[in-house]
Structure 1
Amino acid sequence: MTEKTGTFVVTHAESESAVVRDVDTAQVHTLASNPGLEVHDVLEATVVPEPPLEVTWEVIDVAERRAIDLVDSDLEPTRHAADLAAEAEIGDLVKEERAGTGEIHMFRVPEGEVEAAARDVLEDEETIARAARLEAVRVEVRRSADDGVVSVRYLPD
């Protein structure tokens, strides 16, 4: 039996089963049962394949469990974030560490595509995986249609 310890994000959850994704390798593990997990939960855990076929997995240890809160904010990006994004080409990602912990990611999009870009970020599973890697518990998406800027704030609390 090969156990695997890592950081996992719950991508799908039903009463009888769940699917978790390793945030470092992107490997997906289908759990044979759901030990009370919900979509967007992040686990620092150990999983093992279930015999005899070893196609489903079981969570055998959870060191930490936290939820990632996705927030579609009605606030605009900070002036600093907008200024940083304004220096970038459309589509280029600008990253900046926050004072303390976390990161802010900013990018510009073509005129008229700000809402769609913000929605894509909120619906993308990789947003949650990135938050888990950054040890964030809150992801706040801000946008400015006037500037064509979307900022994604990965916050520790």
Structure 2
Amino acid sequence: MGLFLVVMAFCWSPGSLRAGEAEDYHKFYSYYHSKWEIVEETEGKKETIKAECYGTATGCNIFVSKKQTSIWGYDPKTKQWTGVGHLKDGSRYTSTISRPQGPKFKAGMVLTFTSIIRHADGKISYVTGKQTVVDENTMNEVITGTDQDGKPIPKVVRTAKKIK
């Protein structure tokens, strides 16, 4: 009987509650699970990029494009959806995004990404992305930031559409 009570206490511990929270976050961010066409504009130059995001059995999202690969998951310490990625030029980044209020993505919702990019040459950029949900298949994003000396880096504007 004592062993049963110990097992039951463990099953109902805050740790098991966090596991449910991680599942909620993964379900919420499953919005990204799709193939995407992304139009990206930086300093007047436009480029169209194909990308794909898919979920894993372990509750993570994996995002792949010709410009980057990243993996995202729930961080129980910060209670945020957190990603790490590698860029085509050899740079790598860490990024966090807090879960907005509400059970699912909806038009008008704004998501804020905060990232640190460590470039291959040793320099660091501090970046903020504001992603606005236009509809169930479209997002707009504006990315701004500074380099390690506080100087602005080029603004990036993206429109991402799910490919059916």
**Greater fraction strand:** 2
Determine if the TM-score, normalized by the shorter chain, exceeds 0.5: no
Q: Which has the higher contact order (CA 8 A, sep 6+)?
A: 1
- Normalised by the size of structure 2, how large is the TM-score? 0.25
Q: TM-score, normalised by structure 1?
A: 0.25
